Amino acid sequence: MSGCTDIRCRLNLYLDNELQGDERVEFEHHLRECQSCRSVAQAEKRFLDTFRSAEPLYIASPELTSRVRSVLHFPDSDTADAAGTSRSLRKHRVIATIAAAALLLLLLPILIWRAREREPRSSASSFALMAADAHLRHIRGQLPLEMMSTEPREVSEWFVNKVDFRVKIPNYQEAPGLEKLYTMEGARLVAYKNDYAAYVAYQMNDHPISLVITSDSVGQTSGGEEIKAKGLVFHYNAIHGLKVLTWSDRGLTYALVSDLEERGQKSCVVCHQDIKEQDFIAPLKPR
Amino acid sequence: MPTTAFNEEALTHIDALFGYAMTLTRNRTEAEDLVQETYVRGARAANQLAAESNLKSWLFVVMRNAWLNQLRHQNKGPRFVGLEDEDSFDPASPAEENSNPQVVYIRKIERTQIRTALESLPEAYREVIVLRDIEGLTYQEIATVLDCPAGTVMSRLARAREKLRTLLNGRETKTRFKAV
């Protein structure tokens, strides 16, 4: 049997899963027999778990993700031109490109006229893009929740001292007789503009809903379709097939992301379930 | 590896790559540029990657080579220097049994403090901790990324953890956090 000194020499190898076969069996046998080494191993494992469980330490911004997507889906000409591309194929490509350019020139006045006819809509704000990206990554399992709770009070308390603003998640389901339309899952922090934003995850009839909150000095709500309701200005965007509503109120900026129908106004129920507040949601429905 | 499969799988490692880029550069803008450069190089070389390869580990290699290449062009030279007596490190020094109260304290430390402590480590230590404890690479994979023997990975990792333990023990709990 290995001595304690030898065992402790190989402790890191064991905890890093680098000991295999007989070595591992022998090591574990010693741990079962030796209380002292077992304590040391447990303490070291707890220490490693502390920072291993802290990942991801960094989160790529939505802007970077977007840049990389462009790189991967639209590689530069060197990459696009595979080594085996024949000269004749290249020649055909050149002809096709010239033809496409000529067609574009012919159609350009019509395209400009049609674009002017449409209501002008600017692109989504970076906050809306970040919220949509966080939502997608969460449902893909790439953005796990840091705390799990169905209690709004617990989630609100969890954010204390973690973000620079006060997060108060309302609990409208406390009222008796109200049907439970949604379930809160938990929360985490997400990086936004060199700071943290609050991320809260919900489920409604198997549809995930994400609520992202930041300070209105950090998150802007410009862009998209503007909808005015109850003294607030909502910005609606369709991003990656998701419905994203952003607005600012009392010092905070919110983004609500879902795949619900129309403008995703049903997702507003996570904060406004009371029937009296349904008129608050009505203006968000498409006319 | 086919391009479509590469693109889909490679994108799932963007946070890990950004974390490693931050480890190398300590600068958000430089890190973002390095991540983009890594994907450009990766996409070009994807057809050389065997199907059974560990893509994340391979992307780390691509990133480190891209970064070293950048440093060479900037006439800066690698910054992995200054480790004290790495080769003379005695891996026989085990964790002390009486470290339990410290471990209990460390468990209470928030993610941001861990990150701050990691950023205080010498670069070579930080790099090996990130690759092993955050990204979960094996010793051999780390050795490939760092282009050094697996034994060096083992001794450097043990030293890095001891240093991190010291840093975490000496840090006061902060009430306000900032993301990097």
Instruction: Please state, in angstroms and rounded to a whole number, the distance separating the CA atoms of residues B22 and B33.
Output: 11
For residue range A156-191, what is the model confidence (pLDDT) as tens digits? 988 888 888 888 887 755 555 556 677 888 998 888
- Single out the residue in B21, B40, B73 at which a domain terminates: B73
- CA A231, A235, A239 angle in degrees (round to 5)? 160
Residue B107 neighbours by CB distance under 10 Å? 12
Q: Is B132 on the interface with A (CB under 8 A)?
A: yes
Instruction: Please state, in angstroms and rounded to a whole number, the distance separating the CA atoms of residues A183 and A205.
Output: 9
Is A76 a member of any domain?
Answer: no
Is B111 in contact with A196 (Cβ distance < 8 A)? no
- B68 and B101 both lie in a single domain: no
Is A24 a member of any domain?
Answer: yes
Return the residue matching tokens 């496409």: A100
- B65 and B110 both lie in a single domain: no
pLDDT at residue A137 greater than cutoff 50 = yes
Contacts of B120 (CB under 8 A, 6+ apart): B167
Is B18 a member of any domain?
Answer: yes
Q: So what's the pLDDT on residue A37?
A: 92
- B67 and B108 both lie in a single domain: no
Q: Is A3 on the interface with B (CB under 8 A)?
A: no
pLDDT at residue A74 greater than cutoff 80 = no
Q: What is the pTM of this model?
A: 0.48
Q: Is B111 on the interface with A (CB under 8 A)?
A: yes
- B103 and B39 both lie in a single domain: no
CA-CA distances (angstroms) from residue A101 to A65, A96, A98, A107, B160? 31, 9, 5, 10, 59
Q: Which amino acid is at A257?
A: V
Please give the share of chain A, as a percent, with pLDDT higher than 90: 16
Q: In Å, how far is B178's CA from the nearest CA of chain A?
A: 5
Is A57 in contact with B115 (Cβ distance < 8 A)? yes
CATH number, domain at A262? 3.40.1000
* Number of domains, chain A: 3
Q: So what's the pLDDT on residue B87?
A: 37
The rounded Cα B118 to chain-centroid distance in angstroms is: 10
DSSP letter (8 states) at residue A28? H
Least confident of A23-27, A111-115, A273-277, B109-113: A273-277
- B7 and B43 both lie in a single domain: yes
- State the residue range of the domain holding A279: 126-284
Which chain B residue is nearest to residue A163, measuring alpha carbons?
A: B177
pLDDT at residue A244 greater than cutoff 60 = yes
Is A58 in contact with B111 (Cβ distance < 8 A)? no
Is B82 a member of any domain?
Answer: no
Q: Which residues pair with B112 in a beta bridge?
A: none
- B55 and B107 both lie in a single domain: no
**Better-predicted residue by pLDDT, A205 or A25:** A25
Return the residue matching tokens 């609050």: A198
**Better-predicted residue by pLDDT, A193 or B83:** A193
For residue range A199-242, what is the model confidence (pLDDT) as tens digits? 999 988 778 899 999 988 888 887 778 887 777 888 888 887 88
CB A197 within 8 Å of CB A61: no
Q: Number of C-alpha atoms within 13 angstroms, CB side, residue A267?
A: 28
Q: So what's the pLDDT on residue B34?
A: 92
Instruction: Please state, in angstroms and rounded to a whole number, the distance separating the CA atoms of residues A146 and B50.
Output: 35
Is B30 a member of any domain?
Answer: yes
CB A156 within 8 Å of CB A168: yes
Is A8 a member of any domain?
Answer: yes
For residue range A77-105, what is the model confidence (pLDDT) as tens digits? 343 333 333 333 344 555 556 666 666 66
| Number of residues that make up chain A | 287
Is A71 a member of any domain?
Answer: no
CATH number, domain at B42? 1.10.1740.10
**Better-predicted residue by pLDDT, A56 or B58:** B58
Is A40 in contact with B95 (Cβ distance < 8 A)? yes
- Single out the residue in B35, B58, B73 at which a domain terminates: B73
**Better-predicted residue by pLDDT, B48 or B84:** B48
- A130 and A101 both lie in a single domain: no
- State the residue range of the domain holding B38: 3-73
Q: Is A72 on the interface with B (CB under 8 A)?
A: yes
- B59 and B119 both lie in a single domain: no
**Measuring CA to CA, which residue among B23, B6, B38 is closest to residue B121?**
B23
- A45 and A114 both lie in a single domain: no
Is A72 a member of any domain?
Answer: no
Give DSSP secondary structure letters for B105-172: HHHT--HHHHHHHHHHS-HHHHHHHIIIIIT---HHHHHHHHTS-HHHHHHHHHHHHHHHHHHHHTPP
Is A18 in contact with B139 (Cβ distance < 8 A)? yes
Q: Of A27-41, A168-182, B77-91, which one has max mean pLDDT?
A: A27-41
Is B177 a member of any domain?
Answer: no
Is B157 in contact with A54 (Cβ distance < 8 A)? no
- A113 and A217 both lie in a single domain: no
For chain A, count helices (H), then strands (E).
10, 8
Least confident of A89-98, B47-56, B79-88, B129-138: B79-88
Is A60 a member of any domain?
Answer: no
Q: So what's the pLDDT on residue A265?
A: 63
User: Mean pLDDT for chain B?
Assistant: 75
Q: So what's the pLDDT on residue A150?
A: 86
**Better-predicted residue by pLDDT, B161 or A172:** B161
Is B175 a member of any domain?
Answer: no
Contacts of A69 in chain B (CB under 8 A): 11
CATH number, domain at B128? 1.10.10.10
Please give the share of chain A, as a percent, with pLDDT higher than 70: 67
Helix or strand run (H / E) with residue A207: strand A207-215
Contacts 24+ apart (CB under 8 A), B81-84: B82/B122, B83/B122, B83/B124, B83/B125, B83/B156, B83/B159
Q: Please compute the mean of the pLDDT values over residues A143-151 and round it to a whole number.
A: 84
- B20 and B66 both lie in a single domain: yes
Is A69 a member of any domain?
Answer: no
**Measuring CA to CA, which residue among A61, B164, A189, A111 is closest to residue A200?**
A189
pLDDT at residue B81 greater than cutoff 80 = no
- B105 and B142 both lie in a single domain: yes
* Number of domains, chain B: 2
Is A63 a member of any domain?
Answer: no
- Option in B18, B161, B178 nearest A58 (CB): B18
Q: So what's the pLDDT on residue A140?
A: 77
3-state secondary structure of A204: strand
pLDDT at residue A116 greater than cutoff 90 = no
Q: So what's the pLDDT on residue B84?
A: 40
- CA B98, B115, A187 angle in degrees (round to 5)? 105
- A113 and A22 both lie in a single domain: no
Q: So what's the pLDDT on residue A270?
A: 62
Which pLDDT band holds residue A27 (cuts at 50, 70, 90)? very high
Least confident of B1-15, B42-56, B71-85, B96-110: B96-110
